[in-house]
């Protein structure tokens, strides 16, 4: 009956052994023997079952390969998707880099600060951080390189870092980007030393700024409490006290920031004269060095984030109340606002006129009430009162030091209602703004 | 179909095959070093004897009618998994280092394979333990310790051989005990649980059925071994196209095309064969609709002819669920 001679030769009553079946499954048999096994498998349910069981057990461990042989050749879609994954990974990496770079510029945006008057200095009003230490060398290098980049000069030779202390380089700022120094500043010193201690803690960050002006002994120390937003701190940064000594050498036509190892704040001596402007205003270093902003904003990791010139452009100018502003505020009071309601409170400064209507809406005008624009309510409740910025006489002696945080939220009790607009809501909460548009809770 | 114990199948070798009684010294030395047989307690002469036996049994990979040359012999020996072979033979000899190596390499894979084969963690571990004892040679034959590892010849991987051995033991055990189980599934005969067929309009005559069974057997034998394997695996075992494709190392689309072509060819051959046996074309087509359970004399070819033939003109074979 069987016409196939190979089948005649093959003993159908017997089964191929495990050796033959496994070699068949791994495609290692020569063709003639493979045909014999196939002929047997076609008629033997047992061997088929063994074969498929053994095959399935391979799939559990190596779904795509068996015996080193790629069972399914690479398909085009698979290859294309591989590239797609690569592109996706590149996108994720780019986003990650952006995330890490972004907070370096915005790290102290929401911080609140207090500038202590010079005569009240050397106290540490914030809770001690869990661990104190010097700034890490890498941070110091970043500070140095950032500052150098900001000033547009070549970085100083790499400092020697010992035991994690900070050694900063010399930073020269382009005088063209700085406002002209005031008379007090010019008279005070041609060289100013800044001792800055960064103490990031869990809930607050202390920036102690000592401004000294040797050889004229213009030394000043200011304590800035920075309520650091922990979300914007570098997550890997340990809660250490970072001490940085930055010396600002300010010749007549050039300002230099020089850093070296310094002692903590307790060793710093307060200068008899204040070189720090009280209630410094403006973001970044705007108003920091009065008439000549020096250095960039110090981020949480101690790096100077922006150049003085860029911050000088970005920082809003201090609000001043001129007689014209006062007249505009008086004239607007009681007048009808775009909401159809009368203004119940007005305030003006630096050609910014704010008005609150009876419904609690706030309007802003920059042309003495000719054109109004509504201010979006960033507070809860209704605004019932708007207060003009309260300016203080300039006592900085030509040097006002303020970080960005000092200008954003001078909300501590010791700070007066500084040069910011204020809104009081019906819930009694004060909101401040430097431009009348963006408001922060006080 | 009778169940016979698993036995090694000796491929008949030609009379002049493996005439060489020894290998060239350089070849043997290279193979012995490549296999690292010495570390498993295999002397060079022992290893040479093993290679000679394998070459003789397999005719050095050549068909039985061909006498292999020395080059073919060397190529066959080099194609073997020499390291696996030396390890298996070392274990069969009871070499301690070989067993340490074996356990380090295959303990976990063997257990996982056993669990995958049995579908149960408990049964899988039991199966793996049993195979360990068997591999170690606890079973005595004629008073001598015999290990199945002696039958490994190195053509496939040792791990593949172990998996196949596990599957053999599991299937044999299942086939011995399935009648004791209460579950009606997994009978091995898929026609037992089929629902009763609808009463045919015209009951086929016994002569027609005998004619049909003879024609089917004749046509199936003419099919190639691979086509018959495809038909059996797909229709009898209900394997998926992907499973069959992996077994044959081709794409499942290729399996689908081959299956469709095999069924169409089989149907044409059947119609032609039935007409040659005296049936009209209409009678032959009606005969193809006969209930396969009425067919006798087909022997082991228990195909589901009704399903096979009635759906032969459908489109491509759909992929089954689970593939």
Same domain, B165 and B101: yes
Judge whether B321 lies within some domain.
no
Domain boundaries, chain A: 5-70, 107-314, 323-388+411-441
CB contact under 8 A, A42 and B228: yes
Average pLDDT over residues A127-139: 41
Residues 174-233 of B with CB under 8 A from A: 175, 188, 217, 221, 225-226, 228-229, 231-233
CB burial readout A371-398, b (16+ within 10 A) else e = ebeebebebeebbbebbbbebeebbbbb
Which is nearest to A178 in space by CA: A276, A260, A257, A107? A257
pLDDT, position A60: 60
Looking at the domain assignment, is residue B183 inside a domain? no
Per the document, the length of chain B is 323
- Which of A11, A23, A53 is opposite residue B170, by nearest beta carbon? A53
Among residues A366, A384, A377, the alpha carbon closest in space to that of A435 is found at A366
The 3-state secondary structure of A224-246 reads: EEECCCHHHCCCCCCCCCEEEEE
What is the reported pLDDT for A236? 39
Q: How many CB pairs under 8 A join A and B?
A: 170
In a domain, residue B136? The reply is yes
SS3 for A235-278, per residue? Answer: CCCCCCCEEEEEEEECCCCCEEEEEECCCCHHHCCCCCCCCCCC
Q: How many Cα neighbours within 13 Å face the side chain of A165? A: 12
Task: For residue A403, give the 3-state DSSP assignment.
Answer: coil
Q: In angstroms, rounded to a whole number, what is the distance separating the alpha carbons of residues A49 and B280?
A: 40
Reported as a pLDDT band with limits 50, 70 and 90, residue B114 is: very high
Whether B263 is covered by a domain: the verdict is yes
The whole-angstrom distance between A45's CA and the closest CA on chain B is 8
Instruction: Give me chain A's average pLDDT, please.
Output: 57
**For residue range A240-293, what is the model confidence (pLDDT) as tens digits?**
434 344 444 344 344 443 434 434 333 333 333 433 333 333 333 333 333 333
- On whether the CB atoms of residues A300 and A142 are closer than 8 A, the answer is no
- Is B15 in the A-facing interface, judged by CB distances under 8 Å? no
- SS3 (DSSP) at B154: coil
- The helix (run of H) or strand (run of E) holding residue A173 is strand A170-173
- Are residues B280 and B244 located together in one domain of the fold? yes
Q: Which residues contact B298 (CB under 8 A, 6 or more apart)?
A: B213, B216, B217
Whether the CB-CB separation of B205 and B286 falls below 8 Å is answered with no
Q: How many domains does chain B have?
A: 3
Q: Do B155 and A19 touch (CB under 8 A)?
A: yes
| Residue that the structure tokens 């298996």 belong to | B88
Q: Do A67 and B156 touch (CB under 8 A)?
A: yes
Tokens read off for B12: 């008949």
Residue B136 binned pLDDT confidence (cut-offs 50, 70, 90) = confident
One domain, residues B211 and B303: yes
**B156 interaction partners in chain A (CB closer than 8 Å):** 19, 22-23, 25-26, 28, 67
The verdict on B165 and B69 lying in the same domain is: no
B276 and B248 both lie in a single domain: yes
Q: Show the tokens assigned to A1.
A: 């009956």
Q: Which two tokens stand for residue A418?
A: 């500084």
Indicate whether A95 pLDDT > 90: no
CA A298 – CA A306 distance, rounded (Å): 9
Task: Provide the phi-psi class of A350: left if phi over 0, else alpha when psi is between -120 and 50, else beta.
Answer: left
> Cβ distance A350 to A325 under 8 Å?
yes
Give, in order, the Cα–Cα distances in Å from B109 to each of A303, B159, B266: 54, 8, 42
Question: In chain A, helix, strand, coil percent, each to 5?
Answer: 30, 20, 50
Report yes or no: A192 and A288 within 8 Å, Cβ to Cβ: no
Q: How many CB atoms lie within 10 A of CB A4?
A: 14
Long-range CB pairs of A82-86 (<8 Å, 24+ gap) are none
Residue A271 burial (10 A CB sphere; 0-12, 13-18, 19+): buried
- Distance in angstroms (rounded) separating the CA atoms of residues A266 and A272: 16
> What backbone phi and psi angles, to 5 degrees, belong to B87?
-65, -45
DSSP per-residue letters across A300-359: TTS-B-S-HHHHHHHSPPPP---HHHHHHHHHHTTSBPTTSSBEEEEEEETTEEEEEETT
Beta carbons of B306 and B267 less than 8 angstroms apart: no
Cis preceding linkage at A215, omega within 30: yes
Across A197-206, A305-314, A356-365, B148-157, least confident range: A197-206
Lowest mean pLDDT among A130-144, A386-400, B28-42: A130-144
Based on DSSP, count helices (H) and strands (E) in chain B, helices before strands: 13, 2
Q: Do B6 and A17 touch (CB under 8 A)?
A: yes
The whole-angstrom distance between residue B215's C-alpha and the CA centroid of its chain comes to: 27
pLDDT tens string A146-164: 444 444 434 444 333 333 3
Say yes or no: B36 and B115 in one domain.
no
Q: How far apart are CA A59 and CA A316, in angstroms?
A: 67
pLDDT of B163: 92
Q: Could you tell me the two tokens for A13?
A: 């009553």
Query: How far apart are the C-alpha atoms of A121 and B156, rounded to whole Å?
Result: 84
The alpha carbon of B23 is separated from its chain's Cα centroid by a whole number of angstroms, namely 32
pLDDT of residue A372: 87
List the one residue out of B70, B31, B26 whose CA is nearest residue B47: B31
Contact A420, A122 (CB under 8 A): no
Closest to B63 (Cα-Cα) out of B112, B11, B118, B98: B11
Mean pLDDT of the region B160-182 = 84
Task: Give the Å distances, CA to CA, from A87 to A98, A165, B208.
Answer: 16, 42, 67
Most confidently predicted of A44-53, A303-312, A414-423: A44-53
In the 8-state DSSP scheme, what is residue B118? H
Shared domain check, B287 and B219? yes
**Which residue in the block uniquely carries the two structure tokens 């949480």?**
A300
* Residue B136: half-sphere exposure toward Cβ, Cα within 13 Å: 11
Output the CA torsion sign for A228, A234, A239, A242: negative
Please state the φ and ψ torsions of residue B120, each to the nearest 5 degrees.
-145, 140
Is there a single domain that holds both residue B216 and residue B306? yes
Q: What percentage of chain A has pLDDT greater than the value 90?
A: 1
Tokens of A185: 């500043």
How far, in Å, CA of A174 to CA of A157, rounded? 20
B224-281: pLDDT as tens digits? 888 989 998 998 888 999 999 988 989 989 999 999 999 888 888 888 888 888 888 8
Interface test with A, best of B2, B83, B156, B243 (most A CBs within 10 A): B156
How many other β-carbons are positioned within 10 Å of the β-carbon of residue B70? 13
Closest Cβ–Cβ partner in A18, A23, A51 for B165: A18
What would the mean pLDDT of B132-145 be, rounded to a whole number? Answer: 77
Pick the residue of B68, B160, B218, B262 with the most A CBs within 10 A to test the interface with A by mutation: B160
* Domain range for B78: 25-88
Contact assessment for residue A250 and residue A197, using Cβ atoms and an 8 Å cutoff: no
Q: Tell me how close the Cα of A78 comes to any Cα of chain B, in angstroms.
A: 15
Residues B215 and B155 in one domain: no
A381 token code pair: 């409740």
Please give the average per-residue pLDDT across A341-355, as a whole number: 88
pTM of the entire structure? 0.44
Q: Tell me if B114 is assigned to some domain.
A: yes
CATH number of the domain enclosing B285:
1.10.10.10
Q: A165 and A244 in contact (C-beta within 8 Å)?
A: no
Q: pLDDT for A432-442, tens place per residue?
A: 888 888 888 87
Q: What is the pLDDT of residues B63-84, one digit of tens each?
A: 888 888 888 888 999 899 999 9
Q: B142 and chain A: CB distance < 8 Å anywhere?
A: no
Residue A417's pLDDT is 54
Whether the CB-CB separation of A343 and A332 falls below 8 Å is answered with yes
Please state the rounded mean pLDDT for residues B156-174: 91
Residue A357 phi, psi (nearest 5)? -90, 180
Query: Would you call B236 an interface residue with chain A, using a CB distance cutoff of 8 Å?
Result: yes
Q: Is residue B4 within 8 angstroms of chain A, CB to CB?
A: yes
CA angle B154–B160–B163, rounded 5-degree value: 130
Joined together, the tokens standing for residue A251 give 């010749």
Between helix B96-118 and helix B121-136 the angle, nearest 10°, is 150
User: Model confidence over A15-37: pLDDT tens digits?
Assistant: 888 889 999 998 888 888 898 89
Q: What is the mean pLDDT of residues A288-304?
A: 38
């Amino acid at each position: 009956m069987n016409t196939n001679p190979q089948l005649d030769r093959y003993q159908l009553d017997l089964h191929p052994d495990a050796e033959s079946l496994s070699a068949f499954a791994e495609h290692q048999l020569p063709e003639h023997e493979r045909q014999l096994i196939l002929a047997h498998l076609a008629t033997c349910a047992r061997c088929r079952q063994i074969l498929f069981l053994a095959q399935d057990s391979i799939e559990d461990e190596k779904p795509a390969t068996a015996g080193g042989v790629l069972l399914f050749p690479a398909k085009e879609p698979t290859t294309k998707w591989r590239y797609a994954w690569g592109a996706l990974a590149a996108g994720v990496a780019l986003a990650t880099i952006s995330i890490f770079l972004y907070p370096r510029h915005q790290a102290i945006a929401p911080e609140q600060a207090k500038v202590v008057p010079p005569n009240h200095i050397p106290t540490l009003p914030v809770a001690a951080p869990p661990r104190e230490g010097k700034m890490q060398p890498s941070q110091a290098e970043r500070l140095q390189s950032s500052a150098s980049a900001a000033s547009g000069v070549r970085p100083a030779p790499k400092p020697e870092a010992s035991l994690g202390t900070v050694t900063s380089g010399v930073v020269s700022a382009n005088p063209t980007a700085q406002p002209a120094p005031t008379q007090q500043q010019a008279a005070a010193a041609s060289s100013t030393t800044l001792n800055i201690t960064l103490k990031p803690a869990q809930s607050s960050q202390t920036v102690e700024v000592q401004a000294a002006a040797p050889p004229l002994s213009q030394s000043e120390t200011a304590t800035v409490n920075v309520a650091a937003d922990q979300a914007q701190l570098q997550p890997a940064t340990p809660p250490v006290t970072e001490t940085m000594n930055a010396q600002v050498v300010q010749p007549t036509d050039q300002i230099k920031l020089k850093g070296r190892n310094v002692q903590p704040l307790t060793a710093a001596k307060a200068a008899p004269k204040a070189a720090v402007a009280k209630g410094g205003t403006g973001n970044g270093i705007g108003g920091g060095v009065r008439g000549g902003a020096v250095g960039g904003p110090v981020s949480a990791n101690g790096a100077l984030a922006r150049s003085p010139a860029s911050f000088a452009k970005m920082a809003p100018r201090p609000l001043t109340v001129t007689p014209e502003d006062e007249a505009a505020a008086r004239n607007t009071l009681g007048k009808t606002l775009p909401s159809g309601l009368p203004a119940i409170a007005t305030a003006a400064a630096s050609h910014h006129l704010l008005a609150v209507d009876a419904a609690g809406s706030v309007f802003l005008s920059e042309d003495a009430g000719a054109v109004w624009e509504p201010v979006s309510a960033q507070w809860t409740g209704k605004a019932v009162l708007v207060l003009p910025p309260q300016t203080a006489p300039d006592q900085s002696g030509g040097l006002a030091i303020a970080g960005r945080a000092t200008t954003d939220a001078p909300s501590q009790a010791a700070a007066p209602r500084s040069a910011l607009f204020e809104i009081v809501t019906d819930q009694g909460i004060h909101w401040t703004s430097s431009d009348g548009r963006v408001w922060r809770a006080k | 179909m009778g169940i016979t114990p698993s036995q090694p199948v000796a491929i008949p070798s030609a009379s002049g095959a493996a005439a060489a009684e020894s290998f060239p010294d350089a070849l043997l030395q290279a193979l012995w070093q490549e296999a690292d047989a010495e570390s498993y307690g295999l002397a060079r002469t022992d290893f040479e004897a093993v290679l000679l036996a394998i070459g003789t049994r397999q005719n050095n990979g050549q068909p039985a009618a061909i006498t292999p040359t020395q080059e073919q012999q060397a190529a066959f020996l080099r194609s073997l998994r020499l390291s696996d072979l030396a390890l298996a033979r070392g274990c069969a000899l009871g070499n301690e280092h070989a067993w340490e190596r074996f356990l380090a390499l295959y303990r976990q894979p063997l257990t996982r394979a056993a669990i995958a084969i049995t579908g149960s963690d408990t049964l899988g571990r039991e199966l793996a333990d049993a195979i360990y004892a068997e591999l170690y040679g606890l079973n005595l034959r004629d008073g001598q310790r015999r290990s199945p590892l002696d039958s490994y010849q190195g053509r496939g991987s040792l791990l593949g051989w172990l998996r196949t051995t596990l599957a053999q033991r599991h299937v044999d055990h299942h086939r011995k005990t399935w009648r004791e189980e209460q579950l009606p599934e997994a009978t091995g005969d898929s026609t037992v649980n089929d629902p009763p067929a609808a009463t045919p309009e015209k009951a086929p005559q016994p002569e027609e059925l005998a004619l049909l069974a003879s024609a089917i057997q004749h046509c199936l034998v003419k099919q190639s071994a691979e086509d018959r394997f495809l038909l059996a695996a797909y229709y009898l075992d209900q394997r998926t196209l992907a499973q069959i494709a992996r077994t044959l190392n081709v794409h499942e689309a290729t399996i689908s095309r081959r299956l469709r072509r095999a069924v169409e060819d089989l149907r044409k051959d059947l119609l032609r064969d039935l007409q040659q046996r005296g049936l009209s074309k209409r009678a032959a087509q009606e005969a193809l609709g006969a209930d396969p359970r009425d067919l006798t004399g087909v022997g082991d070819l228990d195909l589901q002819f009704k399903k096979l033939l009635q759906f032969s003109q459908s489109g491509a074979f759909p992929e089954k669920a689970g593939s």
